[in-house]
Amino acid sequence: MRWAVEVQRTELERRNLEDLLRGLGFTLVDGGEHLAFTSPEIDKCSSSAEVFEIGKKVRNAFGGPAQVDPQFTIGSIEDHSCVPPRRHALLEVQSCVHTVTSVFPATLTVTPPAHLSPAQLDAWHRDRAEQEYQAKLVEQRLRLEPSFLEPRAAKVLEYLAATNPGADVLYKVYELIEGPPKGRKALHAQFGVSASEFDRFRDAVHNQAVSGDWARHAFPEEPRTSNPMSKGEAEQFVRSLAERWLASLRKSPPP
């Protein structure tokens, strides 16, 4: 190991942090005063400044719109090419702070079956705790990994965190998912969006004759379809598409 990035602050337990970093391609290690993370990509860096840029990307994924760990803070860059390791402190001005609510639904609390022996009850609680941890890990990774791998995903999560998003926001989310307009046909084929479904969506978000002042456009036009989506249906269409698209950006589960 040549370089490592200190984790100066986190609200995650070590196991959780380690699992999440592994999903991004990093390894959690014991540093000096703090935990740290490294990777083959980091070890290829020729300077602490290059390592710091990777560290910032990780920090932004944890603490940005994905909101996996808003308190996640990186510290110094550790240079292990010398003994003892040299610590490089790099500073930056943080331009903004993201505050969003989770895009995904809350989990339910399950109570144990009746008439369990004390040993059975302990085993049930251990199994249940592990199930809840794995479910939480999947939910975290669904937000963290796309945000780290694709800048558009971070913007999608940021927009979808809005309460009662308007037509402008919903269409921006769709455009971020679609990418360049030439990719529309491939996107629709990948996620099973029919031409009529998309036209119903466009009627809802664009057309003043369908959605009134909520629509993106100021002037009414003849609707493309006889059954345009409602506002709620348009939002559900975008959220469902976004959830599937975000999942498609993830890496394979780590071993």
Residue 91 lies in a domain: yes
Cα(99)–Cα(59) distance, rounded to whole angstroms? 15
Average confidence (pLDDT) over 134-159: 92
pLDDT number for residue 198: 96
The pLDDT, as a whole number, for residue 107 is 45
Kindly state whether residue 156 falls inside one of the protein's structural domains. no
At 91, is the pLDDT very low, low, confident or very high (cuts 50, 70, 90)? low
Domain count across the chain: 2
CA distances from 110 to 105, 115, 133, 135, 198 (A): 16, 16, 14, 13, 39
Residue 254 placed within a domain: no
Residue for token digits 């070890």?
43
**Confidence (pLDDT) at 124:** 84
Judgement on whether residues 126 and 218 belong to the same structural domain of the protein: no
Enter the pTM of the model: 0.75
Is pLDDT larger for residue 136 or for residue 105? 136
Per-residue confidence at 255, pLDDT binned at 50, 70, 90? very low
The one-letter code for the residue type at 249 is L
**pLDDT above 70: residue 96:** no
pLDDT above 90: percentage of residues in the chain: 67
pLDDT of residue 105: 47
Same domain, 192 and 118: no
> How confident is the model over 134-157, as a mean pLDDT?
92
For residue 120, name the pLDDT band (cuts at 50, 70, 90): confident
Tell whether 193 is covered by a domain: yes
Whether 255 is in a domain gets the answer no
Tell me what pLDDT residue 110 has: 63
What is the C-alpha to C-alpha distance for residues 62 and 139, in angstroms, rounded to an integer?
Answer: 13
Asked whether the beta carbons of 8 and 86 are under 8 A apart, the reply is no
Query: Does the structure show a pLDDT above 70 at 95?
Result: no
What tens digit of pLDDT does each residue of 151-188 get?
999 999 999 988 889 999 999 999 999 998 788 999 99
Pair 171, 122 in one domain = no
Burial class (CB in 10 A: 0-12, 13-18, 19+), 56: middle
What is the predicted pLDDT for the residue at 109?
Answer: 54
Q: Does 131 reside within a domain?
A: yes
